[in-house]
Structure 1
Amino acid sequence: MGVTPLAIMLGLTAAALWWLAGHEDYRPFMPGLVEGAAVTMRITVAGAILAVAAALTAGLARLYAPAPLRWLAVTYVELFRGTSALVQLFWLFFVLPQFGVTIDAFTVAVLALGLNVGAYGAEVVRGAVLAVPLHQWEAGLALNLSRRQIVARIILPQAVVAMIPPWGNLFIELLKGTSLVSLITLADLTFRAQQMNQTTMQTGPIFTLVLLGYLFMSLTITIGMRLMERRAIRGLGRRA
């Protein structure tokens, strides 16, 4: 799907939220849900930055680092892919204090979700780099470039184009995964909705707003990634 249909969907979602915000059955819940959505977006953005950094580090380490660092990267990827994000949240928030390490809830959320998504992203990075044709390496060697220069100047710019679509999916998974942080006392969008529902029992209006809120945020991410992909493709002189 192109950017235009997604932009139309985003506009319709925003219009629906705006209309519901003025409706007497929905208006009382908007301020609290907006505050919760702000927490959700903060976790998503911080987690995404950590995920990209972890994925690039681990993905490239698996390909080019010395053996000890490769083993460390493999351990990280398999540990965080092979265990539940919820268990990781609980372990960081409830188990680490038993060893004298206490981390605030927001940092735990960013660490657990960011590293979890980063583990999946590491495989995206590795696959995208391996997909770059071998003759690109040969061209770099012919230009007398070092291995690091070949990776930084030739391989990664091409691999990034292939990484962007799957990273868009991973960022949306990260956004949806933030609903777990309500279990470690963070007042995100889901937490606020649950609180309001327990108090008012107005399940329909509350979770209609929550559904549209998550849809609005996910569409925003999708459009942003599509535009980034177009720009990256044009940067390589290809057709978008």
Structure 2
Amino acid sequence: MDYLDALSMHASRLWEGLLLTLQLTIVSGILAFIVAVVLGLMAGSTKKLLRFPARIIVEFFRGTSLLVQLMWLFYVLPLFGPSLDAMLVGIFALTLNYGAYGAEAVRASMTSVPQSQWEATIALSMSWQHKIRRVIFPQAWALMLPSLTNLWVHLLKGSSIVYIIGMSEFTFELLQLRRTTDWFFALAVVGLVVYFLIALALTQLMRLLEVRAKHRLGRGPSLKEILSPMPPKPSVADETPKPHVTGGSR
């Protein structure tokens, strides 16, 4: 069968699988970020009542395989209660697994904020919530974005594992396409290109967020300057004439 004919025949199923993959990636990514922030703040707390439970949760979900977590949630947990929908299980497992990894990025970014900033909030008698929201987290946000970007791309690729609980996501449909073509066309051409384009879009989106976060801290150009087709205007310092030095020996 011709490759284009096979691709056309499987186009609708590939599209449905792609939409499922995007849904898993976006929903799980957002929820994983929320979990990461909560666990990261708890793990970095000075209170043992908050720090110890957070460390246990983070180490458990980081130390166990995502495959095992999916199997346990979908096949074992229903033995002790009601069964869960496959979509909910997939989102739940991806959220907890990657949220645990993201918690370490959040905690490390919080501790990377200069000590002088923490001391300044103490000198101003700020409450814990106020100093985190107004001073510490905005600086940590700019630091954690590169790590969160990598985790989101990993989550995109990791979402393919949900086929083991019966979900026909994009990789599963690629394997069906492989049956009527070959592995090179289905996986190395269609799959490689599509996953690359999605990962590129996610990376560029997160880079724009990073640019915005740094600009709010006064550490770089604004989004408007980055996206503008016109070259940036020179600053006052750049427009200041510099003395002309002529060569020659005395």
Query: Does TM-score exceed 0.5, indicating one fold?
Result: yes
Once the two structures are superposed, residues 71-113 of structure 1 have per-residue CA deviations (whole angstroms, 9 ceiling, x without a partner) of 2111110101101011011010011011113111111111111
In the other structure, the counterpart of 1:206 is 186
2:44 is paired with a residue whose SS is: helix
In the other structure, the counterpart of 2:178 is 197
Equivalent residues of 2:29, 2:95 under 8 A apart: yes
Distance in 2 between residues matched to 1:130 and 1:226, nearest whole Å: 22
1:170 is paired with a residue whose SS is: helix
Q: RMSD between aligned alpha carbons?
A: 1.6
Counterparts in 2 of 1:155 and 1:60: CA distance versus 1, 3 Å: same
Equivalent residues of 2:105, 2:144 under 8 A apart: yes
Q: Tell me which of 15, 31, 35 is aligned to 1:34.
A: 15
Distance in 2 between residues matched to 1:28 and 1:235, nearest whole Å: 49
Moved more, 143-152 or 158-167: 143-152
In the other structure, the counterpart of 2:146 is 165
Distance in 2 between residues matched to 1:138 and 1:124, nearest whole Å: 22
Equivalent residues of 1:26, 1:205 under 8 A apart: no
Q: Tell me which of 95, 98, 101 is aligned to 2:79.
A: 98
Q: Which structure ranks higher in relative contact order (CA pairs < 8 Å, sequence separation ≥ 6)?
A: 1
Equivalent pairs, count = 218
1:26 is paired with a residue whose SS is: helix
More helix by share: 1
Once the two structures are superposed, residues 6-32 of structure 1 have per-residue CA deviations (whole angstroms, 9 ceiling, x without a partner) of xxxxxxxxxxxxxxxx94453333322
The AA in structure 2 aligned to 1:216 is L
Q: Is the aligned partner of 1:76 residue 2:57? A: yes
1:222 is paired with a residue whose SS is: helix
Q: Tell me which of 104, 115, 121 is aligned to 1:134.
A: 115
Q: Is the aligned partner of 1:237 residue 2:230? A: no
Equivalent residues of 1:114, 1:174 under 8 A apart: no
Equivalent residues of 1:33, 1:210 under 8 A apart: no
Identity of aligned residues (%): 41
2:125 is paired with a residue whose SS is: coil
1:201 deviation in Å?
Answer: 4.4
1:202 deviation in Å?
Answer: 3.6
Equivalent residues of 2:149, 2:202 under 8 A apart: yes
The AA in structure 2 aligned to 1:49 is I
Equivalent residues of 1:29, 1:206 under 8 A apart: no
Q: Is the aligned partner of 1:87 residue 2:72? A: no
Q: Is the aligned partner of 1:48 residue 2:29? A: yes
Equivalent residues of 2:31, 2:95 under 8 A apart: yes
Equivalent residues of 2:42, 2:50 under 8 A apart: yes
TM-score normalised by the chain length of structure 1: 0.86
Distance in 2 between residues matched to 1:201 and 1:217, nearest whole Å: 23
Can you give the 5+ residue segments of structure 2 that lack an aligned partner in the other structure?
222-250
In the other structure, the counterpart of 1:61 is 42
Distance in 2 between residues matched to 1:203 and 1:238, nearest whole Å: 47
In the other structure, the counterpart of 2:161 is 180
Equivalent residues of 1:25, 1:205 under 8 A apart: no
Distance in 1 between residues matched to 2:203 and 2:118, nearest whole Å: 32
In the other structure, the counterpart of 2:133 is 152
Equivalent residues of 2:113, 2:140 under 8 A apart: yes
Distance in 2 between residues matched to 1:184 and 1:70, nearest whole Å: 34
Can you give the 5+ residue segments of structure 1 that lack an aligned partner in the other structure?
1-21
Counterparts in 2 of 1:65 and 1:144: CA distance versus 1, 3 Å: closer
Task: Find the structure with the greater CA-based Rg.
Answer: 2
1:195 deviation in Å?
Answer: 2.5
